[in-house]
Amino acid sequence: MLKQLLLEIDRADYLSMSALAARLGQPIGLVEEGFAALVRMGYLAEQASLTGPSCQDLPCGRCPYASMCQKDPLTMWSVTAKGRRILESYCAAG
């Protein structure tokens, strides 16, 4: 299941735990645990968030994007080189 989850994460443009759970036919709790396991094993790595350091320094009233901002930084994830090797072997086998 972890390899399938990693493959779905790699293919996704946007990660949603509920969408991943639906695609895999698994409970969301199991997908969340799998995601955490992939991070722990070094197959996924967190990237910088989409909000830059200037967003944290400015009060929202001064930001030109304040009316459009969701004010919650988005976390970006990427499959690591170790994760790519696993995906290559998984896709070659199956």
pLDDT tens sequence across 37-66: 999 999 999 875 544 445 555 556 556 666
The answer as to whether 67 is a domain residue is no
Question: Residue 69: inside a domain, yes or no?
Answer: no
CATH number of the domain to which 81 belongs: 1.10.10.10
Q: Which helix (H) or strand (E) holds 53?
A: helix 53-57
Angle formed at CA 12 by CA 9 and CA 16, multiple of 5 degrees: 75
Assigned domain for 54 exists: no
Count of domains forming the chain: 1
Global pTM? Answer: 0.72
26 vs 93: CA distance, rounded Å:
23
Confirm whether 63 is domain-assigned: no
pLDDT at 71 over 80: no
Average pLDDT, the chain: 82
Angle at which helices 2-11 and 17-24 pack, to 10 degrees? Answer: 120
Give domain status of residue 60, yes or no.
no
Determine, yes or no, domain membership for 42.
yes
The domain in which residue 25 lies consists of 2-48+76-93
pLDDT of residue 47: 79
Q: How confident is the model at residue 76 (pLDDT cuts 50, 70, 90)?
A: confident
Q: For residue 57, is it within any domain?
A: no
Rg (the chain; Cα; Å): 16
Instruction: Tell which wins on pLDDT, 50 or 6.
Output: 6
Residue 22 within any structural domain of the chain? yes
CA distances from 57 to 11, 54, 70, 79 (A): 34, 5, 16, 30
